A = this chain, B = another copy of it.
Amino acid sequence: MLIVQKYGGSSVADAERIKRVAARVAGVKKEGHDVVVVVSAMGDTTDDLIDLVKSVTQNPGEREMDMILSTGEQVSIALLAMAVKDLGERAISMTGPQAGIYTDGVHTKARIKDIQCERVKEELSAGKVVIVAGFQGLNGSGDITTLGRGGSDTTAVALAIALNADLCEIYTDVDGVYTADPRVVKNARKMETISYDEMLELAHLGAQVLHPRSVELSKIYNMKLQVRSSFNHNPGTIVKEVGEMEKSMVVTGVAHDLNVARIGIFDVPDRPGVAWTVFKSLAKEHINVDMIVQSAMRDEINDISFTVATTDLKKALAVIEGIKDEVGFTGYNWDDGIAKVSIVGAGMATNPGVAARMFEALAKKNINLEMISTSEIRVSCIIKAEQAAEALVALHDHFGLGEQ
């Protein structure tokens, strides 16, 4: 078998953990498998580098940000290659560019366009464990790009697809995918399997075990994922296509996300093209908008509210300020003391009334809903951040998701 394994920052946080990962990698290699390993930066390295940047400037520029952040993974691949070789296996480290990972030109949030993995294949044929830096690639100008937080998952899945791997294992510090964040909901239950669609919604909703783009990619190419812990040998959770018959659970998981901020624009003229101008301007700056609510307050005048990641708030506000005259709204405000709680389940599409049951559970706890959005298999509500944990526990109980 050809197996691609991805180890997150907490799995390689120090020398001891790197040696433990090396032992696991060497073990799989000794069983006769070919192994490609994708690694993130050690522990808090990325945050440390960001702090270092902040000590120099408040406006680093995204190209230079990618230049500095990409060093984190370069350190961990070299250390892991050394540790694997110490165990008697041949190994070689490769940066994203060396592994042939080409991206578009969007610094700090690049998307993989192509993987030219000839050298990776050569080194595998030579019997080596190939250790690739996650999170990074090369754009058309020869500049280093990064894929954004969590991008190492995407690197792993994209490499697995390009190499036609049999399995892509995502190692993390939890045992798999849970019905809710186990740090918040004590009786949260680990799932044995979950469908791509459900995982995608959960990932989008702040479940941090997998990056949404990696799930999207896996779904498109039908690449089997296994989410498991690097600290034990439990089987974890398999993410795969699940048949209709298996969609028995109406709600399979709940999620919450604190990295969310609301922006409201007042007195927007009710003209065609207004929403287009607003969201086009945000998209141009690569700001993802999540929920959008437009409310008709008076004739021909609207308010528009939408949410962005808290980390994009400053940039989004600058965009809004810049288009104020063009669009002709009277003012705007924002709120970053909010959270998004969601329920997810592939069975929801065919079970009416699930959203109402969610609102019931929240109302009983006196939790006010500021915004609501739904998809076929998900309902999300914006609430006050300080009520997020209480809401999560209430929803988990209400839909009977806990251990029996």
Q: Which residues of A contact B (CB under 8 A)?
A: 14-15, 18-19, 49, 52-53, 55-57, 59-61, 63-65, 67-68, 70-71, 74-75, 77-79, 81-83, 85-86, 92-93, 95, 98, 119, 142-144
A-B contact pairs, 29 of them (CB 8 A): A14-B55, A15-B52, A15-B56, A18-B56, A52-B79, A53-B79, A53-B82, A56-B79, A56-B82, A56-B83, A57-B82, A57-B83, A59-B82, A59-B86, A60-B82, A61-B82, A64-B78, A64-B85, A67-B74, A67-B81, A67-B93, A67-B95, A68-B75, A68-B79, A70-B74, A71-B74, A74-B74, A95-B144, A98-B143
A359 to chain B: closest CB distance in Å?
48
When C-beta atoms are compared, the residue in chain B nearest to A63 turns out to be: B92
List residues of chain B with CB within 8 A of the CB of A75: 49, 52, 68, 71
Note all chain B residues with C-beta closer than 8 A to A78: 53, 60, 64-65, 67-68
For A53, what are the chain B residues with a Cβ–Cβ distance below 8 Å? Answer: 78-79, 82
Are A61 and B77 closer than 8 Å at their CB atoms? no
Closest to A76 in B: B68
**Which B residues touch A59, using CB under 8 A?**
82, 85-86
User: Which of A53, A68, A119 has the most CB atoms of chain B within a 10 A radius of its CB?
Assistant: A68
B56-A19 in contact (CB<8A): yes
8 additional contacts (CB under 8 A) given A52-B75, A64-B78, A67-B77: A18-B56, A56-B79, A56-B82, A63-B92, A67-B78, A67-B93, A68-B79, A119-B142
Residue of B nearest to A98 (CB): B142
Bound form: Cα–Cα A75–B55 in Å: 13
Could you tell me the distance in whole angstroms from the C-beta of A218 to the nearest C-beta in chain B?
29
| 3 shortest interchain CB distances as A-B pairs | A68-B78, A71-B71, A15-B55
Q: How far is the CA of A144 from the CA of B81 in the complex (A)?
A: 15
Across-interface contacts of A79 in B (CB, < 8 A): 52-53, 56, 64, 68
Residue on B with the closest CB to A58?
A: B86
Task: From known contacts A71-B71, A74-B71, infer whether A64 and B52 are also in contact, taking CB-CB under 8 Å.
Answer: no
Of A65, A74, A77, A83, which is in contact with the most chain B CB atoms at under 10 Å from its CB?
A: A74
How far, in angstroms, from A92 to B143 measured CA to CA in the complex? Answer: 11
Q: How far is the CA of A63 from the CA of B74 in the complex (A)?
A: 13
- Cβ contact within 8 Å between B57 and A86: yes
Chain B residues near A82 (CB-CB < 8 A): 53, 56-57, 59-61, 64
Contact residues in B for A18 (Cβ distance below 8 Å): 56
Neighbouring B residues of A77 by C-beta, 8 Å: 67
Among the interface residues A56, A119, A142, which one has the most CB atoms of the partner chain B within 10 A?
Answer: A56
Closest chain B CB from A19 CB (angstroms): 7
Please indicate the chain B residues that have their CB under 8 angstroms from the CB of A71 in the complex: 71, 74-75
Closest to A22 in B: B56
**How distant is the Cα of A230 from the Cα of B64 in the complex, in angstroms?**
24
Residues in B with CB closer than 8 Å to A57 are 82-83, 85-86
Q: Is the CB of A93 within 8 A of B70?
A: no
Could you tell me the distance between the alpha carbons of A63 and B82 in the complex, rounded to whole angstroms? Answer: 10
Closest beta carbon of chain B to A60's beta carbon, Å: 5
Give every chain B residue within 8 A of A19 (Cβ-Cβ). Answer: 56
Chain B nearest CB from A396 CB (Å) reads 41
Of listed A49, A82, A86, residue having the most chain B CB within 10 A: A82
- Cα–Cα, bound, A372→B247 (Å): 86
Residues of B within 8 Å of A142, CB to CB, are 98, 119
Minimum CB distance partner of A67 in chain B:
B78
Docked pose: A363 CA to B15 CA in angstroms: 51
* Chain B nearest CB, measured from A75 CB (Å): 5
A85 touching B68 in the complex, CB below 8 Å, given contacts A52-B15, A75-B52, A119-B142: no
